[in-house]
Amino acid sequence: MNKIAIFLADGFEEIEGLTVVDIVRRAGIDIDTISINGRLEVNGSHGIQVKADKILADINKDEYTMLVLPGGKVGTENLEACDELIDMIGNFYGAGKYIAAICAAPSIFAHRGFLMGRKATSHPSFESHLEEGGATVTHSPVEIDSGIITGQGMGASIDFALTIVEICAGREEALKIAKAIVHHSPEFE
């Protein structure tokens, strides 16, 4: 059974985080929003406050099959400063479990060497981090390579979320959700 954890830090990009939660839940996949702040309330980068499902310190890390990181420059910096989260990401990477990040957040993977020799994408202003980490930057809306999913930014949020659905529930389910939300993308038509 797939269960996803999406991590929220003050300064996260709301559309990137909440689009994933919405679309994944529409597909019937279990996903928890997890605050790294030590409190349930998380302040997005555009002044939208969100109440997370759980706090990082209270989760059972073994129950998750995929980790997702939304972007936002400040949110990404806050995620990367959280040692407990970085350890969890490293453990998932080492175990070959899926990890996903969008916008600025793929830079976290690059800084740890996870993208060395892999295709990846990010917000254009963070592509240098990926290149310095040994990735081949594709400029695609979404890229999957060896269990690592990366997304370009807010405009790719729906495709990023649908890719996660496809991995967890299959192509048919992703196409069904895309049709239901009237999403038009070459990848999901």
Q: Does the pTM of the predicted model rise above 0.95?
A: yes
Q: What percent of the chain has pLDDT over 90?
A: 96
Active site residue 103: yes
Per-residue pLDDT band for 186 (boundaries 50, 70, 90) equals: confident
Distances in Å between the Cα of 119 and the Cα atoms of 61, 104, 128, 141, 144 are 27, 16, 14, 12, 7
Which H, E and C letters describe 122-189, residue by residue?
CCHHHHHHHHHCCCEECCCCEEEECCEEEECCHHHHHHHHHHHHHHHHCHHHHHHHHHHCCCCCHHHC
In the predicted model, what is the mean pLDDT of residues 172-188?
93
Distances in Å between the Cα of 96 and the Cα atoms of 28, 66, 136, 153 are 24, 10, 20, 24
Q: pLDDT of 91-106, one tens digit each?
A: 999 999 999 999 999 9
CB 80 within 8 A of CB 102: no
At 101, is the secondary structure helix, strand, or coil? strand
Quote the CA–CA distance of 168 and 65 in Å, as a whole number: 9
Q: pLDDT of 59-115, one tens digit each?
A: 999 999 999 999 999 999 999 999 999 999 999 999 999 999 999 999 999 999 999
| Residue 187: predicted pLDDT | 87
Mean pLDDT of the chain: 97
pLDDT reading at 1 higher than 90: no
pLDDT reading at 185 higher than 90: no
Question: How many domains are there within the chain?
Answer: 1
In sequence order, the 6+-apart residues with CB closer than 8 A to the CB of 72 are 11, 12, 13, 16, 44, 45, 103, 104
| Residue 189: predicted pLDDT | 80
Q: pLDDT of 43-55, one tens digit each?
A: 999 999 999 999 9
In sequence order, the 6+-apart residues with CB closer than 8 A to the CB of 33 are 6, 8, 17, 21, 50, 52, 53, 54
| Residue 29: predicted pLDDT | 98
CB 145 within 8 A of CB 120: yes
Neighbours of 35 (CB within 10 A): 23
Choosing from 23, 102, 103, 105, which is the catalytic residue? 103
Give the residue numbers spanning the domain of 50: 3-188
| Residue 166: predicted pLDDT | 97
Write the CATH number for 163: 3.40.50.880
Q: pLDDT of 5-59, one tens digit each?
A: 999 999 999 999 999 999 999 999 999 999 999 999 999 999 999 999 999 999 9
